[in-house]
Amino acid sequence: MHCMKELYAVPDQHIRYDITKAFFGARMTEGSFVREHGVMILSLVEKLKYLQVDFDKEETYVNVILQSLPPSYDQFIINFNMSGLEKRLHELINMLVQYEATIEKSAPSVVVGEASTSKATDKVVGRGRRMRRLLLCLHFKCSYYNARQG
């Protein structure tokens, strides 16, 4: 029975490696929600703590979260680091959610409309057709153009 466990059991080292890799490789994509990213990071932290992979300070977890953010959060990261605040993970994620809300409110709205053709372009095209008809009619002494003029 003991041999069966050793044969089919997944070693803890392999699980630790996978979770650590996912934690340090986590990246938030631009435009996604920071709350979802934070929940995913928190679940990885809980798994790491359960597997007794613990870093010296919670500051390491905070730094990894800050490094995983997209460039639109650069201003937040600068302000956070300059303030010198020591925040816990949950507090940091709440601050990020608040920052995300302010970004969305202050983002300039872009109005996208259909491109319209200018009247001058339409007139040139229209004149081109009429001019061709006129030249063809004059060349062939067409009654169509003469009837429309009269």
Residue 74 forms part of a structural domain: yes
Choose between 126 and 64: higher pLDDT.
64
Q: How far is CA 116 from CA 89, 112, 113, 121, in A?
A: 51, 12, 9, 11
Question: Tell me, what's the pLDDT at 104?
Answer: 79
Q: Could you tell me which residues come within 8 angstroms of residue 72 by beta carbon, excluding any fewer than 6 positions away?
A: 30, 103
* Residue among 44, 51, 5 nearest 21 (CA): 44
**How many domains, the chain?**
2
Q: Averaged over 26-34, what is the pLDDT?
A: 91
Domain of residue 145, residue span: 119-149
pTM over 0.75: no
Q: What is the pLDDT of residues 82-124, one digit of tens each?
A: 988 788 888 999 999 999 998 877 766 555 555 555 555 444 4
- Residue 59 shares a structural domain with residue 27: yes
* Residue among 11, 10, 145, 49 nearest 41 (CA): 49
